Amino acid sequence: MATPIDALPKAPAEETAPPGLFRLLLRDRFALVGAVFLGLLVIAAVLGPLLIGDLATKLALGQRNLAPGSLEHGIAYVLGADSLGRSLLARLIVGARNTLGIAAAASLLAILIGGTLGLIAGYAGRWIGNLIMRLTDIVMSFPSLLLALVVLFLLGPSIVNLIIVLAITRVPIYLRTTRAEVLEIRERLFVQAARAMGARSTRIVRRHILPVVLPTLVTIATIDFATIILAESALSFLGLGIQPPSFTWGAMVANGRNYLGSAWWLAAWPGLAIMLTTLSLNMLSSWARTIGDPQQRWRLEIAGKRR
């Protein structure tokens, strides 16, 4: 028999989900726009180097602080140029690569650390669970930006340190969620039933607990991704994040701040990019929450009919 055991339970869950997840997305215009924007952004970030070549670093002193809105110098300069005459559009695409890359790496690291520690805290004995929770409280109770600033100050700013610091400040979210879910699931009857059949802890975690916890963590990651982007931007804006010659959107805003009076677009575009990205992520996750809540889902189902 082809056992469904290894064909993770997630895949069938999606199959049996009522048809039209896509159609439900169409019913929420904000979420749809958000999804389209994020899709384009990811494509631009991935294909970026193919599209723009060396435009992001090519100096053109004749076009210093070129104003946006003109196609005179080609489509690459439609958003204007920076103080060294480099294409802002090209730099935004490179910034997207770095911003999204760092945020993705930090998210992944935070899920890994938070999920693992959360499983341990939820399933191991009281003593070790308490210790982990107290350590989490320390991280939680202190402003994440200050924590990141202090650690970067002590360890020195670099991309790796930046990712680690961003991950550490987000770990508590995943850790607490995982632990709470584990504590709840391990009391559920189907886990009790497995124990009554003689299943051991490792089996229960792998078979019954992880498949329930993982989707929750992924859902949180959508919202948290936006938070990480904001945190990274703020750190880079303050000068303790990414260091030149590398740059992210946040660093671009910091750079543009010096030309606020003469060339507002240097700070405006990268900030707008951050805002649109985080807004799209939040719209999508708000839509996902409505879908996931059986008490709210009908709103989207009848939304299309009333229009």
Partner 1 sequence: MADYILTRMVYSVLSILGLLMLVFFLARLTGDPSHLLLPIDASEEIRQAFAERHGFDQPLLVQFGNFLWDLVHLDFGISLRQQRSAMEAALEAFPTTLKLAGVAMAIATLLAIIVGSLAASKPGGAFDRIASTLSLGGASAPDFWVAIMGILFFAVTLRWLPTSGSGGIEYWIMPITVLMLRPFGLLVQVVRGTMIGALASPYVKTARAKGLKRARIIFVHALRNSMLPVITVAGDLTASLINGAVIVESVFGWPGIGRLMIDGILQRDFAIVQSTILVTALTIFAMNIVIDVLYAVLDPRIRHS
Partner 2 sequence: MSGASAPVLPTPVLEVRGLKVGFHTGRGYVRAVDGASFHVDPGETLAILGESGSGKSVSAAAIMNLIDSPPGDIAEGQILFHGHDLLDMNEEKRRLINGERIAMIFQDPLAYLNPVYSVGWQIAEVFRTRPNAGVTDPWGEAVRLLDRVGIPEPSERARRYPHQFSGGQRQRVMIAMALALRPELLVADEPTTALDVTIQAQILELLKSLQAEEGMSLLLITHDLAVAANIADRIAVMYRGEVVEEGPARRVLEHPEHAYTKRLIAAEPGRAGGLGTDRQGQMREEAEVLLQAEHLVKDYKLPGGLFRRARLVRAVRDAGFSIAAGETLGIVGESGSGKSTLARLLLRLDEATGGHAFYRGRDIFAMDEAELSAMRCRVQMVFQDPYGSLNPQLTVAAIIAESWEIHPQLLPKAEWSARIAELLQMVGLEPAHAERYPHQFSGGQRQRIAIARALASEPELVICDEAVSALDVSIQAQIIDLLAGLRDRLGLAYIFITHDLPVVRHFADRILVMKDGEVVEEGTTVDIFERPQHPYTRALLAASPRPKWTAGDEHEMVFGEERLQRSLPTR
Question: What are the residues binding partner 1 (CB under 8 A)?
Answer: 30, 134-135, 137-138, 140-146, 149-151, 153-155, 226, 230, 233-234, 237-240, 250, 253, 256-257, 260-261, 264, 267-268, 270-272, 274-275, 278-279, 281-283, 286, 295-296, 299, 303
Distance CA 11, CA 293 (A): 20
Residue from 197, 202, 244, 261 that binds partner 2 (CB under 8 A)?
197
Select 51 or 260, whichever has its Cβ closest to partner 1. Answer: 260
Q: Which does 50 bind (CB under 5 to 8 A by kind): partner 1, partner 2, none?
A: none
Q: How far is the CB of 212 from partner 1 (least distance, A)?
A: 22
Q: How far is the CB of 168 from partner 1 (least distance, A)?
A: 11
Q: Which does 4 bind (CB under 5 to 8 A by kind): partner 2, partner 1, none?
A: partner 2
4 binds partner 2 (CB under 8 A): yes
Select 16 or 262, whichever has its Cβ closest to partner 2. Answer: 16
198 binds partner 2 (CB under 8 A): yes
211 binds partner 2 (CB under 8 A): yes
Q: Which does 297 bind (CB under 5 to 8 A by kind): partner 1, partner 2, none?
A: partner 2
Residues contacting 254, CB < 8 A, separation 6+: 236, 237, 238, 239
Distance CA 252, CA 69 (A): 19
Q: How far is the CB of 44 from partner 1 (least distance, A)?
A: 19
Determine contact, residues 152/161, Cβ cutoff 8 Å: yes
Q: Which does 16 bind (CB under 5 to 8 A by kind): partner 1, partner 2, none?
A: partner 2
């009522």: which residue's tokens? 18
Window contacting partner 2 (CB under 8 A); options: 39-47, 60-68, 168-176, 206-214:
206-214
Residue from 188, 206, 257, 289 that binds partner 2 (CB under 8 A)?
188
Backbone φ and ψ for 134, nearest 5 degrees, come out as: -65, -40
Beta carbons within 10 angstroms of residue 149's beta carbon: 18
Residue from 26, 36, 84, 192 that binds partner 2 (CB under 8 A)?
192
19 binds partner 2 (CB under 8 A): no
The site for partner 2 (CB under 8 A) is made up of: 1, 3-5, 9-10, 12-13, 16, 18, 188-190, 192-199, 203, 208, 211-212, 294, 297-299, 301-302
